[in-house]
């Protein structure tokens, strides 16, 4: 039995999306961020973070690791492509999303939404916005000639990168200078599996 610990109002959403996209039967235990360091949850993840996936007694944490694991173990083409080269591309784009994009989006999100107005760092927002221009261009260029990152089909790479970029929507980042990326993001986030996750606790 698969169990996913974590609220949909966190990075856990991307793993819930993967579970829904794969059509897997699972139990969702909506652990809040504030409760992630409870003794009970620390037994699942000693880092005190969500999400955590339990698969028949095997515990896995880190949302990208969870998603790639789920895709490899339970997925089939096209969500989990058939070739090793394509698997490498899924890893490449997934890690690109969490290294080149996510930290900057979180800086903007934190300073626009999560800290009091008198503590917001506008310079940090400006620097993060500037730092996003290069990876956004990489994505936009990749998507100008194809509907999805690896080609014609939606894969776990699209899910993972789109889940990172969903923070841009919350942070109200202007995406109009990268229209191919913006259209792709809307297409990915509009998928039925992701819409179902939005209604979860």
pLDDT of amino acid 157:
98
pLDDT of amino acid 120:
95
Q: What is the pLDDT of residues 77-120, one digit of tens each?
A: 999 999 999 999 999 999 999 999 999 999 999 999 999 999 99
Whole-model pTM: value is 0.97
Distances (CA, A) of 31 to 25, 34, 45, 106, 200: 19, 8, 12, 21, 12
CA atoms within 13 A on the CB side of 145: 3
On whether residue 162 sits in a domain, the answer given is yes
Domain boundary among 56, 75, 94: 75
On whether residue 201 sits in a domain, the answer given is no
DSSP code at position 100: I
State the residue range of the domain holding 95.
84-195
186: number of Cβ within 10 Å: 12
- Number of domains within the chain: 2
Q: What is the pLDDT of residues 2-53, one digit of tens each?
A: 999 999 999 999 999 999 999 999 999 999 999 999 999 999 999 999 999 9
| CATH assignment at residue 28 | 3.40.30.10
Q: What is the pLDDT of residues 70-88, one digit of tens each?
A: 999 999 999 999 999 999 9
Domain boundary among 45, 75, 105: 75
Report the alpha-carbon distance of residue 101 to residue 115 in Å, rounded. Answer: 21
Q: Are residues 91 and 158 in the same domain?
A: yes
Work out the angle at residue 30's Cα, subtended by the Cα atoms of residues 154 and 162, and round it to the nearest 5 degrees: 25
On whether residue 69 sits in a domain, the answer given is yes
Per DSSP, the residues of 7-37 read -TTSTHHHHHHHHHHHT--EEEE---GGGTT
pLDDT of amino acid 61:
98
Q: Are residues 122 and 33 in the same domain?
A: no
């Amino acid at each position: 039995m698969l169990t996913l610990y974590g609220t949909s109002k966190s990075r856990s959403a991307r793993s819930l999306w993967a579970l829904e996209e794969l059509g897997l039967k699972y139990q969702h235990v909506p652990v809040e961020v504030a409760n992630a360091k409870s003794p009970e949850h620390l037994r699942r993840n000693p880092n005190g973070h969500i999400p955590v996936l339990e698969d028949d007694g095997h515990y896995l944490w880190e949302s990208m690791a969870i998603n790639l694991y789920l895709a490899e173990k339970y997925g089939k083409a096209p969500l989990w492509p058939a070739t090793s080269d394509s698997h490498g591309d899924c890893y490449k784009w997934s890690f690109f999303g969490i290294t080149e994009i996510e930290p900057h989006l979180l800086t903007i999100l934190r300073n626009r939404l999560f800290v009091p107005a008198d503590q917001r760092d506008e310079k940090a927002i400006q620097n993060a916005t500037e730092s996003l221009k290069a990876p956004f261009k990489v994505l936009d260029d990749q998507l100008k000639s194809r509907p999805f990152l690896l080609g014609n089909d939606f894969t776990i790479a699209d899910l993972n990168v789109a889940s990172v970029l969903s923070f841009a929507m919350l942070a109200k980042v202007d995406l109009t200078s990268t229209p191919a990326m913006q259209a792709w993001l809307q297409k990915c986030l509009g998928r039925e599996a992701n819409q179902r996750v939005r209604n979860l606790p």
